[in-house]
Structure 1
């Protein structure tokens, strides 16, 4: 077991060999890569902060000393805390880039999905604020590959800014080539559309009041074509009817070519189509309808499948990522208040969630995480299975 585990951990530690060590040379009793790897596997096993990481490491001393270079034994809580506080998030995350590329390649081969939906959305850790020291709750934007179950990157929003400034920074961190980026109305910005197309991806951006003139023109164009029976120019249409748990839902997707006389048409790089998604839900005899408009670089297809898939897959980040982080990782309850520490822990949570989702077992993410805490063999299987 130890030899096989060491092989897996050597591969994992290699991702962090080039990470600059922020510690003073006189305090470097433990290799930086070993400290980071222990933090990663401890979070996989259920740890939620430096104290829990150190406690788990103490229980697993024999395992860790057999698979990692630890010349001075297992680090204590203060070591994990100092390291995760000192590491700059913008330097820490890129260390995972090669690992993520391998995970994405494996997922593409297994699922057959070569054009994933890359959903970008924000999330707030509501209890991570420190009013006494003027630190607001951590709000960050995450990129989630819905079909793969992979978190590709995360950027924290500046205290005095919002998601509009963070999204372009996130796009610089991730590989969007070949993917379809979906963002809610907050991210419907010309700069975002341009960055996605420049990186070789496509976009489907929700259109609302923040782009008032464009939104009104798009609505008018769709309604005008509707009144004409969609005669003339190409139109894509798809209807999906589903029934489950006493609930019936009918979803209609319509995709039209974007007219060149749309306000600011030339400023939206790659703009090719306008889309509308209409949802009608019937539950307990009551009907609720929702209509959402989008602009997209996707071409109009007769069956509108690519557009419909991107719109529907966007919910993957809410259900598969954010909800799981709150329920299984208890992230929304975190009281970590140091700026870099909370960002690095949030990223470790997201990356560990990706590893757990990539594991082929049929158990829930919560059960897989418990398994990592209960069984050393299972823990090593989750790690090695994602790096071999």
Structure 2
């Protein structure tokens, strides 16, 4: 999937005009909006921190001086470090709202997807800790529009257990109307279900033992229905077989109305269905099986349920995997609290841009092209041409 949004540097610059510049008066040699745009371009081209951003900018000085207001020349690495360390992450991300909204609308039009899956999951930057300052590794929660390849929001949490409080905060900042919110078992909380419904969306929440009696009762209800092969209760089934990369995967999806007799039924706003996803997989003669359980505000439409279950893993396969392998994010040693969070956001933003690019090359090759080709100094060209410049 690729969508085209006509943006040039001037369009992008205006998004950052309202951003509060927290630098002292003696450090205002370089316009803030120009610095941010250079940082975006540099990360697109493969930069992984302030030093790499400055080196890329110096190598592209000729084109940058024509594109941007830079009265004192190309900023040095300390400038990038100071600026991105002083910007408040929430305010920084807020500047991208209109841009991401435009990208999302274009992607929806290009794909015809009316009900996108918004997958929510956390990721830890394993080497971003600083023991001397008692600073733990950065753990961030992202909202990923699976069908569009877009990260819509990110929030940092002190640790993984704090995802529960972070998720409702982020959902309130994006348009979730008509979307299907998917979360793993840690995020299966009544408050998150309510937030999804209040925003005009639906939820599909994984269940494990952390839901106590609800989880056990749902399994008991499902097991009871297996005795009659789910007849007479409005259950639906969908089977798929996939053969790829030397692996055979058989998936069975079952969805049925949620019994109102389930313990705690009334705590889950809009609860309509419960579902099961079975996976049987064989590779190199080794057989594995997996069973997952879900609660949802979706009506019993098993193909829709199956699509949402599969789409949730896009945040792992198409987002987190790229951040680890292509961006090498786990190896980042940026330790300043705001700086590491702002660079994590730039990684996710630029990955989203690369996913929208119509070229068929890999994300890694697209990043190389951004560094090789001076035409990529213009994000207008980046968003609207192939890697060959056509």
Q: CA deviation at 1:25?
A: 2.5
Preserved contact between residue 207 and residue 292 of structure 1 (Cα < 8 Å): yes
TM-score by length of 2: 0.94
Report the Cα distance in structure 2 between the residues aligned to 1:40 and 1:72, rounded to whole angstroms: 20
Partner of 1:98: 98
Question: 1:264 aligned to 2:268?
Answer: no
Q: CA deviation at 1:230?
A: 1.3
Q: CA deviation at 1:17?
A: 0.8
TM-superposition CA deviations, 1:240-296 (whole Å, max 9, x none): 012223321110000010111111111101111000001111223332211100000
Higher mean displacement: 282-291 or 123-132? 282-291
Q: Secondary structure at the match of 1:173?
A: coil
Preserved contact between residue 236 and residue 256 of structure 2 (Cα < 8 Å): yes
Q: CA deviation at 1:159?
A: 4.8
Counting only pairs closer than 5 Å after superposition, residues 328-339 of structure 1 correspond to structure 2 as 328-339=326-337
Partner of 1:3: none
Counting only pairs closer than 5 Å after superposition, residues 301-340 of structure 1 correspond to structure 2 as 301=301, 304-340=302-338
Partner of 2:285: 285
Question: 1:10 aligned to 2:5?
Answer: no
Partner of 1:210: 210
Q: CA deviation at 1:385?
A: 2.1
2:339 to 334, 341, 344: 341
Partner of 1:242: 242
Q: CA deviation at 1:383?
A: 6.0
Count, aligned residues: 379
Task: Give ranges in structure 1 of 5+ residues lacking alignment.
Answer: 1-6
Preserved contact between residue 355 and residue 382 of structure 1 (Cα < 8 Å): no
Q: CA 1:147–1:275 in structure 2 vs 1: closer, same or farther (change >3 Å)? A: same
Report the Cα distance in structure 1 between the residues aligned to 2:235 and 2:206, rounded to whole angstroms: 19
Q: Secondary structure at the match of 1:162?
A: helix
Q: Secondary structure at the match of 2:240?
A: strand
Partner of 1:37: 37
Q: CA deviation at 1:167?
A: 1.2
Partner of 2:255: 255
Q: CA 1:378–1:39 in structure 2 vs 1: closer, same or farther (change >3 Å)? A: closer
Report the Cα distance in structure 2 between the residues aligned to 1:331 and 1:382, rounded to whole angstroms: 27
Report the Cα distance in structure 1 between the residues aligned to 2:233 and 2:346, rounded to whole angstroms: 49
Task: Give ranges in structure 2 of 5+ residues lacking alignment.
Answer: 1-6, 386-390
Report the Cα distance in structure 1 between the residues aligned to 2:82 and 2:163, rounded to whole angstroms: 29
The CA RMSD measured in Å over matched residues stands at: 1.5
TM-superposition CA deviations, 1:85-131 (whole Å, max 9, x none): 00010111010000000000111111111111111111010000001
Q: Secondary structure at the match of 2:237?
A: strand
Counting only pairs closer than 5 Å after superposition, residues 88-127 of structure 1 correspond to structure 2 as 88-127=88-127
Q: CA deviation at 1:359?
A: 0.4
Partner of 1:369: 367
Higher mean displacement: 175-184 or 92-101? 175-184
Higher mean displacement: 225-234 or 214-223? 225-234
Q: CA deviation at 1:8?
A: 1.3
Report the Cα distance in structure 1 between the residues aligned to 2:62 and 2:206, rounded to whole angstroms: 52
Q: CA 1:386–1:93 in structure 2 vs 1: closer, same or farther (change >3 Å)? A: farther
Counting only pairs closer than 5 Å after superposition, residues 8-87 of structure 1 correspond to structure 2 as 8-87=8-87
Preserved contact between residue 252 and residue 277 of structure 1 (Cα < 8 Å): yes
Q: CA deviation at 1:382?
A: 6.3
TM-superposition CA deviations, 1:295-330 (whole Å, max 9, x none): 0010012xx011000000111111100000011111
Preserved contact between residue 357 and residue 382 of structure 2 (Cα < 8 Å): no
Report the Cα distance in structure 1 between the residues aligned to 2:266 and 2:30, rounded to whole angstroms: 56
Report the Cα distance in structure 2 between the residues aligned to 1:341 and 1:381, rounded to whole angstroms: 23
Partner of 1:4: none
TM-score by length of 1: 0.95
Report the Cα distance in structure 2 between the residues aligned to 1:282 and 1:27, rounded to whole angstroms: 60
Q: Secondary structure at the match of 1:241?
A: strand
Report the Cα distance in structure 2 between the residues aligned to 1:244 and 1:320, rounded to whole angstroms: 17
Preserved contact between residue 119 and residue 143 of structure 2 (Cα < 8 Å): yes
Preserved contact between residue 240 and residue 251 of structure 1 (Cα < 8 Å): yes
Higher mean displacement: 170-179 or 120-129? 170-179
Partner of 1:178: 178
